Structure 1
Amino acid sequence: MMAPPVRQTARELRRLQTRERILGAAIAEFQASGMTGADVGAIVSAAGVAHGTFFFHFPSKEHVLLELEQREEARMAAEFARYLGSAHDLASALTKMVVLISGLEQRFGPLLFKELLALHFSPTRPSSDEWSDHPLIVLLVGEIERARGDGEVHPEIDAFYSAAFFLLGIYGVLTTVTRSDIRDAMLANLITTARRGLEAR
């Protein structure tokens, strides 16, 4: 016998809506001022909630950023997984990863994007830092392992380190290069270099 679907109560729904309003207001404030410079007063005013309501939902500004990072990573991972489900090769998968991460930087702007990366690599991050808890890198590692199994990639290649170095390369270009023509050329070169470095000889 199947259990009946759990219905959300009106109170739970209001709580979720309040959380979403706070998150949306915090994103706008972080885009304008960065996380450190963000004013909780401005966030609660924009969200139309009391000051204590912010801290009920998020113990700190870092927790807002953490939730945003987890949501965006899950969204990008779902899109990447859909892409990997269609016909592709390793080069096009690497290109898709660049497109996904570049798209995040364009949507959030350079300041919030850098804040997300700073949290991602922070030693005081209020969450697990196991790479296996990050679906995007798990998928990229799996893709490199698939390509190695298909003979596209040298058998001695370490999939995790290759994926990590590739992602760090993308982050490096996006956070240090502002001219779009130079940035595009560097990202294209990063894909080419990564692919050649992984190729079975």
Structure 2
Amino acid sequence: MAYRPTERTEARRTQTREKIVRAALALVARGGYREAQVAAVAKRAGVATGTVYRHFPSKADLLTEVFRVASQREVDAVAQAGGETAQERLIAAVDTFARRALQGRRLAWALLAEPVDPAVEAERLQFRRAYADAFASTIAEGVARGELPPQDPAFTATALVGAIGEALVGPLSPTHADTDVDVLVSRLITFCLRSTTDQEVD
């Protein structure tokens, strides 16, 4: 008779997998991808190294899942940034994007710029598209309501995400000196408004 996992064993398997991902994510946030060696992940998760490999056939598989979980959390935070008008939502989105990155610099560096395995790099491209989609939705709604001038929302959003990410790479670098977060965020918001409207921050 073929073995069929019960709900309890399946729930335990899911819990173990999530524990492994959390452990790897904590290590990446502390020291980047090279910190998340499989043996270190297993030790932090309180499981055997073989258990990690049962859930993730390779280190690249594990880090791809870590990247997916971490990046989705960041995209969701940006997408939920509120405001009554499109301009207010754009300001909130840029503010959220930048401040979360600058508060968790090591993880943000890993998500945006750290050299990675090709599988993780492919996920990084999806991450950028998801960010662009969040911005494009706000811009498209603003154009439709007459709150923003006519423009191609997808093009503008892609350009914004690329520019914001590039502007953050230097400050997020592990070798970079301290950054004045408020000044940097203000500059990014001004750039965003100049790129999407004919207005600037008062």
TM-score, structure 2 length as denominator?
0.74
Deviation readout 1:21-56 (Å, 9 max, x if unpaired): 211221222233321343221111121212122122
Retained in 2: the 8 A contact 1:90–1:147?
yes
Question: Equivalences for 1:135-146 in 2 at 5 Å?
Answer: 135-146=130-141
Which residue of structure 1 lines up, in the alignment, with residue 28 of structure 2? 30
Contact 1:22-1:44 within 8 A present in 2 as well: yes
Aligned length: 188
* Aligned with 1:88 (options 84, 89, 103): 84
| 8 Å Cα contact 1:91-1:191 kept in structure 2 | no
Structure 1 counterpart of 2:119, one-letter code: R
Displacement of 1:140 in angstroms is: 1.3
Distance across 2 between alignment mates of 1:10 and 1:53:
18
Q: Distance in 2 between matches of 1:46 and 1:37?
A: 12
| 2:99 is the counterpart of 1:100 | no
Where 1:125 maps in the other structure, the secondary structure is: helix
**In 1, are the aligned partners of 2:72 and 2:127 still within 8 Å (CA)?**
no
Tell me the residue number matched to 1:173.
167
**CA 1:114/1:198 → structure 2, altered by over 3 Å: closer, same or farther?**
same
Work out whether residues 128 and 161 of structure 2, in 8 Å CA contact, stay in contact via their aligned partners in 1: no
Can you give the 5+ residue segments of structure 1 that lack an aligned partner in the other structure? 1-7
> Distance between the aligned counterparts of 2:17 and 2:193, measured in 1?
42
The RMSD of aligned alpha carbons is 3.2
Which of 150, 153, 164 aligns to 1:159? It is: 153
Letter in 1 for 2:160: F
Calculate percent identity across the aligned residue pairs. Answer: 27
Cα distance in structure 2, aligned partners of 1:122 and 1:45: 23
Question: What SS does the aligned partner of 2:32 have?
Answer: helix
- TM-score by length of structure 1 reads 0.74
Match of 1:3 in 2: none
Post-superposition shift, 1:189?
2.0
Whole-angstrom distance in 2 between the partners of 1:174 and 1:133? 14
Paired residues of 1:73 and 1:136 also in contact (CA < 8 A): no
Task: Provide the residue aligned with 1:4 in structure 2.
Answer: none
Aligned to 2:195: 197
Cα distance, 1:18 vs structure 2: 0.8
Q: Does 1:12 align with 2:6?
A: no
The 3 A distance-change label for structure 1 pair 122 and 27 is closer
Cα 1:124–1:36 change in 2 (3 A) is: same
1:162: how far off?
1.4
Superposition deviation, residue 81 in structure 1? 4.6
